Structure 1
Amino acid sequence: MPVAQPPLGGPLGRSRNRLSASALTTYLRCESQWFLAYQVGLHGPLRPSQVAGIVLEDALCELFMMHPPHVSSKQELTDWANPLILSQAKKAHDRGREDWDESLWREQDVSWDDVTEEDFSEKIRNGFELFMEEVEQCYNANGGPFLETRRGGGQPFSVPEPTWGSIPVFPRPEKVPDVELRQWDVEQSASWSKQGEPVTWNEAWECARPWVKDPRVHQPQRLYHPDGWASGELDLVLRWDGNIRIVDIKSGSSQSSFASSLEHQLRFYSWLWAQTHEGQLVEGMEGWYLSGPERIKFTPPTLEDISSLTDFYMKQHQAMQGLAEGVVQFPSSPDTACSGEAAGCYWCQVSRSQSSEWNLHESQQWISELPLPSISSPYAPLSSIQGRVSVKGSLSGAWGPLPNHFSEPVLGAVLVGGTQHIALEESEPGSFPKLHEIKHKDVLVHNALPGVWRDQPRLYVDNVTQILPIGELDDSKSVEVTRLGLLRTRANVKGYVLSIRKRSGRRIDGKPWSMVAFMLWDGSHVAEVVAFGNSINQRILNLKPGSMVAMTGVEIGWRSGLLQLRIDSRKTRLEPTFLL
């Protein structure tokens, strides 16, 4: 099936500790680019092409979900689709404008008006033509091996291809109230001929229709490795002829600087398919470029390739997780910064020498013009924030999995030390899966990360943390132990905003969520600052790169071992100064 539930009750959404195709291809292009974007959370300004790629893919998939009427020729099928292509282009362009206008940081000297509705129509038409090649092959094959099954009202696949009017498949249906009672019908349905008759062109469309990401499903539609460390979200899966072919849609050109990553991306998806489908091999890998139209084919991995890819991906994943933790230094020194030649390099090429000479792109020149922040009491440098600690206490009260601040299910327990009680919690789902299996009561929690949530102190545990029985400690190895009552959970910080973006969506239960994240730079280090839901106010939304921000009482948290500061609507005081 093209979608699945994650193992161990992990999150359906993206996890910074989980290997994905986009993370892998970015890492293979430039390790520094991957680290700053995927781990630290430092992003560049939004570009029109980024928005266009998302809305065009959605519009094309929505077109594939439509049911054509009975037609007797390929031309009649094309005539039916032509006005729909135009309406989908307009819808996509309107969606793109809305997303562009709502973004908090956009690329300079460009606007959404530079993206035309005519260009959208052409690209959707190109995608339609690529699909029509499949429809024609299906027609010439008399509908393929599943025609009679479909004519009889059957469905050959456990996860059907989404269509308008059908009930969508949710990865976690128990989280969606009354899914079968909702009104999914539209004024269109498939038109089938009688058993044994020659296939019609509209039937060939119905049979050739690929599995696509269903726009009605708010839950992530991904494949998850059985061990939980890798996941992938496919664009299209062609299977009308009984073979599996994976397709990735690209709104740009095959001559793009990112095009060299496509084969790596498709090989990752093919490997993941084999891992999640009892070793089934993919028969084809294709990239569909909408600027062409152009279909680029690659040879899929063999059974031997799958085994070697498993070793390769595991090694890459382990290397990615071990790059850095704590508080991240920025900018890099000239000898560690990247060359800036790889596709997508933006922040990773920025460097500053000991003599304060900057190396950066012309569009980043404003950073070098900022005066270094003057940090004095009550504010402190980011580098002074307490990192990993060791504490002693008695374990009790195991709980979970329950949602954390990202609505991800995590395990927890209570640690008692004297009169102090503190919650132990996984920093991310699956980061300490054996928390409830610890049988010893009196323990040393070594290398935990101190923080706070909902005004209650927390100790976050992950794959670096050790929980050791007190009686088995090696006296020869001294460990500095921090008293529970002395853990630092809040900070007063000051610095400049380097980047900012807003995200929103719906949780797996359908409830809305929103988040603003900006990168705070104090002149030598950076940390991600996040605000959720009602903590997002107009002051935060008015921030822009170059704004000076002073915050008191910001919550200390951690994400993949890296410092993440969280704004508490009740206790965090934020004072922005707009310099640029």
Structure 2
Amino acid sequence: MPVQIVDEDDLMVSKFKRLSATSLIQYRNCPRSWYHQRIEFLRGPQVPAMMRGHIVENVVSRVFREGPMLVSETDEWDILQSPLDDENRPVRDSGDGYNAPDIQPTTGLESIESLRAWARARCDVHLPHVKQLHVEEFEDNPMSIGSGEDLDDDLMQQMAYATIDFHIEEVERCLQMNGGPKLSDFRAGLRPDWPSPDGFPYDWSLPHPAASTGDCTLMEAWEISRPWFVDPDAGTFSLGTIHPEHWFWGEYDFVYDWDGNISIIDLKAAMGDNDRSAGYVFQLEIYAWLWWQTHDRTSQVSNLRIWYAGSNQVKIIEAPDQIRLAALDTELREAYDALFVNRSENVEDYPAEPAPVQLFEAGGKHVGTSENPLERCIGCDHRSICPNGENRSGLPMLESLQHEGRNWPITPSNRLQTRIDICGEVTGLLSPQSDDQGNIQIKFNLQQGVDRVEVKNCFFPKPKRITRRISNGSHVRVKGGRPTEWNLTPSVELDDLSEIEIIDPEDADGESIVGMVTAGSVVGRVMTIRDTTWQKFRSSSGKPKWRLTIQDGAGSIDIVAYAFAVPPSARSVRPGDEIAILNGVYSEFFGRPEIKFQKNTRLAILKRRED
């Protein structure tokens, strides 16, 4: 089966802590770049070329789902639209919403060229609609650079046509083999658990309208040779397959099995003339290993191919044998252990040592290796912060900023103090409460002479290490408290890294309440925008928010603004812009220092990426 779905409650490994081919290829290309993206979450911008690949694949998948006996050249683009469940996967337990059973079939087509003409006409119907959907999503994404106007419609059309031609070769081969070994099953109406999308319900048991007698017909060959592919209406990454131990995940483009052999195809809307072609080969080998693993090591992939739709060429990859599959298994397990199970959080353990850039001609033909050992660094998304690139020399590093008639002191990232130790007398204590996991809910005032500050647990994660002897009148040391404020009222928050211990008043040290810093102003270049309240296609969960990471000359600074505090100008901020956050309050997010917007925090856009 090309799809393996495990409910989140049954996962042995979190979906955020599993390996993928893309992640491993990035690590092999450069450990330091992997660290920035996977541990610091510094993603690069989205560009129109990425959108082009998704558009071409979606268009041809919609054509593959159709057939000339049910869909004419001029029918609406959504005539076979699939009903989806709550997880954005095609409905599998009901026939409601599937349109194919209600369509009156025609006699179909009798020649390969008429089939080709039909398929190309359907590409022309789908392309404008699919493009519009993807452009809307792309331009809605705050990480996008460019627009739909940067796409070449003629180029995408030709790529879709090329992909159709690749598939029609399979149709011809199926016809020549008289339908192959699955002709009888097709005519009997038998369907696998995960059938190729064809407009019919998953549990449809009647013979297809194309089913005939005698020799295999062209219309039967079109239906029988249809590969499995991700339903074009399904949600992103909703139809992948997962390793039996749940630590690896992947999603196939096309899987052919009509001839009794498993063939995995990777579609690339590209020429195949750059370094990425090296990663494509390894990716397909990994997919062959994943198929083997998810089929109890009893089913092996026979053929691996890359369809380069840009150059209209097919690259054949040798499918791994048992020895290679075993070697891949060892390599991938070791990679998972190093990158997820026992990984270091220290940047120095991820050297800035990029792999040599591989040189390719169109069609993925390898022709050599670049003589420049740092060529991979030239276009790297992390060049501005890497020692092989600008090493932060071009990033803002200000001590103050003159803005709107006021001089704002600026705090560099390496001087943001989001953890403090502070001592004092406990007053106004509300009895601490602990749940089954040892999380403690607590609130009291910490008194230093006539000065006092509120101390309380944060919402998540709550503290666990608080002495049971705490009481009103006792003197305590708060270790690792988080100084912050709300509506100009300072406080100290406690989380799972914070502690409270009883002390002798004479041993008091640490911060004074009067000198405690709870807010500051920062300046930096936007690296990654991870969440936005206004995104129509928002994929993040939790409270609506604007969350991003900026970089200054010393390091990273995380920024967050919840819905009520998001400034109107936030919508226009893009990666590469230089901005100032003025009078933001201190916070933390999973151990990372953070500046949080409050009602009087200001956003100033100092320089646009394109300036």
Q: TM-score, normalised by structure 2?
A: 0.66
Confirm or deny: 8 A CA contact 2:139 2:147 kept in the other structure.
Answer: no
Alignment of 1:498-577 (within 5 A): 498-501=526-529, 517-529=547-559, 538-544=568-574, 545-550=576-581, 552-553=584-585, 555-558=587-590, 563=592, 565=594, 573-577=601-605
**Deviation at 1:143?**
1.5
* Root-mean-square deviation over aligned CA pairs: 4.9
Structure number with greater CO (CA < 8 Å, separation at least 6) is 1
Alignment of 1:389-538 (within 5 A): 397-398=435-436, 414-415=439-440, 459=495, 492=520, 494-501=522-529, 517-529=547-559, 538=568
For residue 428 of structure 2, what is the aligned residue in structure 1? none
What one-letter code is carried by the residue in structure 1 that aligns with 2:439? Answer: V
**Deviation at 1:32?**
1.8
1:218 aligns with 2:244: no
Confirm or deny: 8 A CA contact 1:71 1:200 kept in the other structure.
Answer: no
SS in 2 for 1:283: strand
Listed as ranges, the gaps of 5+ residues in structure 2 are: 70-107, 355-372, 402-407, 422-431, 445-455, 469-478, 485-490, 498-509, 511-515
For residue 94 of structure 1, what is the aligned residue in structure 2? 132
SS in 1 for 2:337: helix
**Deviation at 1:351?**
5.5
Percent of aligned positions that are identical: 20
- Greater CA deviation, 493-502 or 131-140? 493-502
For residue 144 of structure 1, what is the aligned residue in structure 2? 180
SS in 2 for 1:285: strand
CA distance in 1, matches of 2:220, 2:541: 38
Confirm or deny: 8 A CA contact 1:554 1:565 kept in the other structure.
Answer: yes
Q: 1:238 aligns with which of 229, 247, 256?
A: 256
CA distance in 1, matches of 2:229, 2:378: 27
Confirm or deny: 8 A CA contact 1:234 1:269 kept in the other structure.
Answer: yes
Confirm or deny: 8 A CA contact 1:415 1:422 kept in the other structure.
Answer: no
SS in 2 for 1:191: coil
CA distance in 2, matches of 1:222, 1:101: 26
SS in 2 for 1:287: strand
For residue 291 of structure 2, what is the aligned residue in structure 1? 273
- Greater CA deviation, 242-251 or 84-93? 84-93
**Deviation at 1:122?**
0.5
**Deviation at 1:251?**
0.4
1:85 aligns with 2:85: no
SS in 1 for 2:439: strand
Alignment of 1:85-124 (within 5 A): 85-104=123-142, 107=145, 112-124=148-160
1:341 aligns with 2:361: no
1:162 aligns with 2:192: no
Q: 1:198 aligns with which of 209, 215, 218?
A: 215
For residue 57 of structure 1, what is the aligned residue in structure 2? 57
Task: Tell me: CA distance 1:33–1:73, structure 2 relative to 1, closer, same or farther (3 Å).
Answer: same
**Deviation at 1:8?**
6.0
Q: 1:286 aligns with which of 305, 308, 315?
A: 305
Q: 1:306 aligns with which of 313, 325, 334?
A: 325
**Deviation at 1:93?**
3.6
Task: Tell me: CA distance 1:259–1:343, structure 2 relative to 1, closer, same or farther (3 Å).
Answer: farther
For residue 432 of structure 1, what is the aligned residue in structure 2? none
Q: TM-score, normalised by structure 1?
A: 0.69
Listed as ranges, the gaps of 5+ residues in structure 1 are: 170-179, 181-188, 399-411, 427-434, 436-440, 442-446, 462-481, 483-487
Confirm or deny: 8 A CA contact 2:397 2:552 kept in the other structure.
Answer: no
Confirm or deny: 8 A CA contact 1:505 1:512 kept in the other structure.
Answer: no
**Deviation at 1:303?**
2.5
Task: Tell me: CA distance 1:299–1:387, structure 2 relative to 1, closer, same or farther (3 Å).
Answer: farther
For residue 76 of structure 1, what is the aligned residue in structure 2? 114
**Deviation at 1:142?**
1.5
Greater radius of gyration (CA): 2
CA distance in 2, matches of 1:112, 1:43: 21
Task: Tell me: CA distance 1:90–1:507, structure 2 relative to 1, closer, same or farther (3 Å).
Answer: closer
CA distance in 1, matches of 2:228, 2:542: 26
Confirm or deny: 8 A CA contact 1:5 1:12 kept in the other structure.
Answer: no
SS in 2 for 1:368: coil
**Deviation at 1:154?**
1.9
User: Number of residue pairs matched?
Assistant: 486
Task: Tell me: CA distance 1:304–1:126, structure 2 relative to 1, closer, same or farther (3 Å).
Answer: same
**Deviation at 1:88?**
2.5
**Deviation at 1:266?**
0.9
